[in-house]
Amino acid sequence: MRLYILRHGETVWNVQRRLQGCADIPLNENGEYLARITGRALCNVPFDYCVSSPLIRAQRTAELVLEGRDVPIYTDRRIQEIGFGEWEGLSCDQNNFEIPDPNFPEFFRNPENYIPHPSGETLESICGRTREFMNELAANKENENKTILISSHGCCVRALLRCVEEKTENFWRNCVPPNCSINVVDEKNGVFHLIEEDKIFYDRSKVLSYVG
């Protein structure tokens, strides 16, 4: 089984550095553009099917990447973004920090120490549901020789990769995955291997200079 794990395209809230979480924010014009570029780059990959987060930004990214192809798209809440609860919509930009908890930056610096809002979700929770998702894919013998597109979100992509390489000391792998980046994972006999990490198909300096 081969997995192409995709982060969704850009949204207005990405540009504004607002916490999205489970808020159902659509792609902006640039996000749709990036998804189409990515789709063209992957046009020769023989996807058997796609599993997407049910949030519109992930579903729309999958639709654009697979545009013109007869590839079924299913949804699964286990690969939905981590929930921030009442903090969703607030800016985490250091120059316009709106989150009432001054310790929130631990989410990016030392996520193992992150304490969510009572209405939010823990890192342990998202890692648990993504591991269940990955193990279920691997256990399904019908997937043995299939190529599957997974359309998800920044934190969720990193949680999925923790199932591949257990880097407890570096959850973010040094960065948030860029919009429309691809992580390629092979699986055989229940063992996952990372083949390609955070690959993008556009000029980051010209198109997504705010990512860093």
Calpha distance 19→197 (Å, rounded): 24
* Per-residue pLDDT at 203: 84
| CA distances (Å), origin 172, targets 79, 110, 195, 211 | 16, 9, 17, 14
* Per-residue pLDDT at 169: 75
Sheet-wide strand order for 191-199: 73-75, 49-52, 147-152, 2-7, 182-188, 191-199
- Structure token pair of residue 129: 């549901």
What three-state secondary structure class fits 41?
Answer: helix
pLDDT, one tens digit per residue, over 46-97 is 999 999 999 999 999 999 999 999 999 999 999 999 999 999 999 999 899 9
> Which residue of the set 10, 81, 88, 121 is catalytic?
81
The two beta strands, 2-7 and 49-52, are unpaired
* Per-residue pLDDT at 206: 53
* Per-residue pLDDT at 62: 98
CA angle (47, 53, 58) in 5-degree steps:
75
* Per-residue pLDDT at 211: 41
Active site residue 8: yes
* Per-residue pLDDT at 168: 64
In the predicted model, residues of the chain with pLDDT beneath 50 are: 209-212
Active site residue 196: no
Domains of the chain: 2-207 (3.40.50.1240)
* Per-residue pLDDT at 207: 54
